[in-house]
Amino acid sequence: MIALPTGGAIPQLAFGLYKVSADADGESIVAEAIKAGYRHFDTASYYGNEHTLGRALRASGIAREEFFVTSKVWNDAQKEGRAGVHRSVLQSIAALDFGGYIDLFLIHWPVPGCFVETYKELELLHQEGKLRHLGLSNFSPAEYEELMSEENDITVPPVVNQFEVSPFMYRPKDVAYFQQKGVLVSSSKSLHRAGECLNNPQLVEISQHHSVTPAQIMLRWGIQKDLVVVSKTATPKRMAENRALFHFALSEEEMSVLDRLTTAEDVAKREQLEMERKQQM
Q: Which residues are catalytic?
A: 47
Bridge partners (DSSP) of residue 13 are 229
Q: Nearest-CA neighbor of 267 among 163, 176, 142, 136?
A: 163
Give whole-number Cα distances, 112 to 32, 79, 136, 238, in Å: 39, 9, 14, 38
Beta strands in the chain (DSSP E): 2-3, 9-10, 13-16, 40-42, 68-73, 102-107, 131-137, 160-164, 184-188, 228-231
Distance CA 125, CA 9 (A): 20
Give whole-number Cα distances, 193 to 58, 65, 111, 278, in Å: 30, 31, 25, 22
Do 33 and 60 touch, CB atoms closer than 8 A? no
Do 93 and 125 touch, CB atoms closer than 8 A? no
Give the helix ranges, DSSP H, for 61-200: 75-79, 82-96, 115-127, 141-147, 172-180
Q: CA 39, 11, 20 angle in degrees (round to 5)? A: 50
Distance CA 203, CA 197 (A): 8
269 in helix, strand or coil? helix
